[in-house]
Amino acid sequence: MAKLFDNKTISPGGTIDGVVELPGDKSISHRYALIAALAEGRSEIRNYSTAADCRSTLSCLRRLGVETDFTRERLRISGQGLGGLQAPRRSLDAENSGTTIRMLAGVLAGQSFASTLSGDASLRSRPMRRVVEPLRKMGAEIRAHDDDCAPLEIRGGALHSIDYTLPIPSAQVKSAILLAGLYADGVTTVREAVRTRDHTELALREFGATIESLNKSVRIHPRPKLEPRQLIVPGDLSSGVFFIAAALIVPDSALILHNVGLNPTRTRVLDFLISIGAAIHLASVQLRDGELIGDISVRHSALAGGEISGAHAAEMIDELPMLAALGPFTEKGIEIHGAQELRVKESDRIATISAGLRRMGARVEEFPDGLRVEGRSAGKLRGAKVEPGGDHRIAMALAIAALGAQGDTVIRHADCVAVSFPEFFVILERLRGKGTDG
């Protein structure tokens, strides 16, 4: 993918005002594409995510013999059925997408051919044992670098059903096991101590799989005939959180986000923001294709600050960098614990967001499992040159914090936002009534 820009300069001031239609939810887009590829016939998906990660999933599917037709208006996928994928001629490149490599590993575990899954340097450093171990328990033969990292060499075959308890909360691992369970010899059960996002369960049900959810366990029945579907991906709340934060930070701001996914496993971040004083309201909430959607309105607010820990940290894992960056704009600051998983994302997100905020003058204390960012009493942020470490969510979080700083902030290597949200800076400047700069 061509770079949109390298460095990006963010000037403070202005207001955040307007209406936003967010790009399709990244998590749901991955899942719709993967399951549509296993259905029998052509599916049509509207508002499929423009993120580079989701394009990586499509690229891998094409190498497995799945025909895709992707335009601005829709994605069409010609499903091959559970047994119709073809052996790839070369390694499957997930690029930077952890969701692609982990979930596709579950599908490939049930195939009758061998395949290799790899990715870029960042992805090859991320932990894969968490998905390799349960798939091995189901009978798949998988080799990993140092038994924990990509590339993953997978020799698929007949799989056994298992009853598996996730040792750490992970929707990606849960999804990989459920997808492998489509090929098992009996009912596969996944149990979790902390409820993770359930987009895979909802999507599988939409495509016709028999899947049962009870409390914190999920059971999937094997060998369904998956039917093609016409689906619309909701707007991505995890992307929308950056604009919500912008409106909360910048005085006199008012913003409406249309048709946003409001899945209860994703909205803990809204609950937290409301609890610390954010003026956030939901409207037009409805059920579409198994997912809750609605409109979010937000106005500039005085924020008290607060603490995030335990299960709540796991439920908001993608939003934590942005919440940390809100700390200097709150009365008491933001403190996060129980977020060790941030250490093994696209970057060490605890270290990277801490370093960026410190460069801007924030007082930050770092913990093994989180951080504390001091509130307004520590002083106003100042513009600085910051390095997001190639991490899209860090780049966006620092850009939003820069809106409330004194002086210009330069986000280095800002093109990394394309991993999840290539339109981010264009939409941000439109909401401020400004053009883009390089």
pLDDT of residue 107: 98
pLDDT single digits (tens) 330-388 = 999 999 999 999 998 989 999 999 999 999 999 999 999 999 999 999 999 999 999 99
Which of residues 175, 203, 232 is at a domain's end? 232
Burial category of 121 from C-beta neighbours within 10 Å (exposed 0-12, middle 13-18, buried 19 and up)? exposed
Query: Of the listed 25, 198, 318, 415, which one is catalytic?
Result: 318
Q: Are 389 and 347 in contact (CB under 8 A)?
A: yes
Residues 116 and 163 in one domain: yes
Residues 106 and 217 in one domain: yes
Catalytic residue flag (residue 318): yes
Confidence at 415, pLDDT banded by 50, 70, 90: very high
DSSP annotation of 351: H
- How many structural domains compose the chain? 2
Residues 328 and 271 in one domain: yes
| Within a domain: 436 | no
Residues 305 and 191 in one domain: no
pLDDT of residue 438: 37
CA dist 60 and 83 (Å) reads 16
Range from 3-12, 20-29, 31-40, 105-114 carrying the lowest mean pLDDT: 3-12
Residue among 273, 341, 261 at smallest CA distance from 308: 273
Q: Are 190 and 179 in contact (CB under 8 A)?
A: no
Residue with token string 């936003």? 20
Residues 172 and 256 in one domain: no
| Within a domain: 3 | no
Which of residues 232, 248, 268 is at a domain's end? 232
| Within a domain: 248 | yes
| Within a domain: 164 | yes
Owning domain of residue 238:
8-24+234-431
Residue among 175, 173, 141 at smallest CA distance from 157: 141
